[in-house]
Amino acid sequence: MTTHPSDRRAFPVDALRAQFPALHRAGKFVFFDNAAGAQVPQRAIDAVNRHLLEHNVQRGGRYRQSMAVDQTIARARESVAALVNARRGEEIAFGMNATSFIRQVSLAVGQMLGEREEIIVTDLDHEANVATWLALQRTGAVIRWWRAREDGRLYPDDLRPLLGARTRLVACTLASNAIGSIVDVRSAADLTHAAGGELFVDAVHYGPHGPIDVQTLGCDYLVCSGYKIFSPHMGFLWGRYAALRALPTFREEFIPDEPPGKLEAGTFIYENVAGMAAAVEYLAALGRRLGGRDGDIDPETLRGDCREAMLGIEAYERTLSAALLERLKALGAQVYGIADPARAHERVPTVCFNLPGRSPAQVAAAAAAADIGIRDGHMYAPRLMRRLGLPADTGAVRVSLAHYNTHAEIDRLAQVLGRLRAR
């Protein structure tokens, strides 16, 4: 296996942690609930403040503050396009969150079913990428299920027999927000396109953990929530330009029927979009550091720098995943999904588990008492919980790590769980 340059460099976790003010303000608190939202680097905070202080106005005017907003949005669009390797900035639309974009696309697809009335969804996904499509049954859609296997993974071989001449769209995640399994989206895209359908990908949970390349993935639509990728609260949609042009969407009559404007009804939060662009810059700066390149961020190399950063994050987080899985195994925990530390490359560092003799709520409460933030419940994936044989109301415990977490923090959690296990 070829070793990536980022693998040969020590990951600068301490230096990166210093760029996240919340980590220092929280003292000894450990942020292990990153799947619900990541922390924000100082660079992104500064971008938000700069927008609010210098040009907190509506775009589209002829005065300099308004034109500065136009420029901010244009730069952010190009930055996010580079992050996901879009072919053009107009393929990126900004909005409140990923869920709202899933709903927007689903409503549009619901008006375009015709003889292709079948929508394929999975029981691995966040409910946002399930219920939105199930709602189309009221307008004639037929739902088919791509089921996860016992190991908590989706297999392309199980998708193949579901596809046919009536397939309109397959909706799936890139990585499970509950159990961390990574999905072979490229194979799903190839199979779906061979059947004449489209592929919609929820990349919200994968976004902070590895490089996204929409051209390599081969999907038709992809959504992310920026606040999972170190920005303030916002979301974005990528789509093939031709596919976005074909979608029937709500828009004021003076807005051209062209992306991205046709997908951005109303005013979104400009300062948070500025923060998202700064989060991309944070990643680009990390990529330049990992690649041994000094100097300022270069728009010409932004895509490559971001990819370098995400490969470095991916490699470091695999060590975190393996360490967490090893400690949970030693504690006798039931891990759902991929539990073998040697298979950490098949998952992101999001682990769902239960401790024998302890409810998920008890485990999360014990961690909270020790100043460690984890989560219990169904993780907005109640269908997956039932698939795993768990009550949807109590679910499991989830520890979700990010690249600013450390092995020492994992050790702290293991000590808390060990004491709870011994009671």
- Asked whether the beta carbons of 244 and 259 are under 8 A apart, the reply is yes
pLDDT at 295: 79
CATH of 5-39+310-422, one of 2.40.33.20, 3.90.1150.10, 3.30.200.20, 3.40.710.10: 3.90.1150.10
**Average pLDDT estimate for 94-123:** 96
pLDDT of the residue at 2 = 35
pLDDT digits (tens, 9 = 90+) for 112-143: 999 999 999 999 999 999 999 999 999 999 99
Helices (H), 291-345: 302-330
Confidence of residue 179 (pLDDT cuts 50, 70, 90): very high
Handedness of CA 312, 315, 319, 324 (dihedral sign): positive
The token duo for 127 is 């409910």
Q: How far is CA 56 from CA 52, 78, 143, 342, 346, in A?
A: 5, 21, 44, 50, 43
**Two tokens at 403?**
């690249």
Identify the CATH number of the domain defined by range 48-278. Answer: 3.40.640.10
The predicted structure's pLDDT at residue 9: 57
For residues 50 and 35, the answer to whether their CB atoms sit within 8 Å is: no
Mean pLDDT of 270-297: 94
Cα–Cα distance for residue pair 88/81, rounded to 1 Å: 7
**pLDDT class for 265, splitting at 50, 70, 90?**
confident
Note whether 255 and 262 are within 8 A (CB): yes
Inform me whether the pLDDT recorded for 5 exceeds 80: no
In this predicted model, what pLDDT tens digit does every residue of 16-67 receive, in sequence order? 999 999 999 999 999 999 999 999 999 999 999 999 999 999 999 999 999 9
Q: What does the alpha-carbon distance between residue 137 and residue 248 come to, in Å, rounded to a whole number? A: 18
Other beta carbons within 10 Å of 292: 9
- The reported pTM is 0.95
| pLDDT for the residue numbered 41 | 98
Q: What is the DSSP string of 347-365?
A: B-SEEEEE-TT--HHHHHH
* Strands of the sheet with 92-95, listed across from one edge: 92-95, 235-239, 221-225, 198-202, 167-173, 118-122, 142-146
**Residue 354, phi then psi, degrees to nearest 5:** -135, 145
| Helices and strands in the chain: count of H runs, count of E runs | 15, 13
For residue 6, pLDDT over 60 is answered with no
| Contact assessment for residue 94 and residue 104, using Cβ atoms and an 8 Å cutoff | no
Percent of the chain clearing pLDDT 90 (strictly above): 93
**Structure token pair of residue 21:** 């003010």
Sequence spans of domains, the chain: 5-39+310-422, 48-278
Residue entry with tokens 């789509």 = 239
Are the C-beta atoms of 87 and 241 separated by less than 8 Å?
Answer: yes
- Name the helix (H) or strand (E) containing 80: helix 64-84
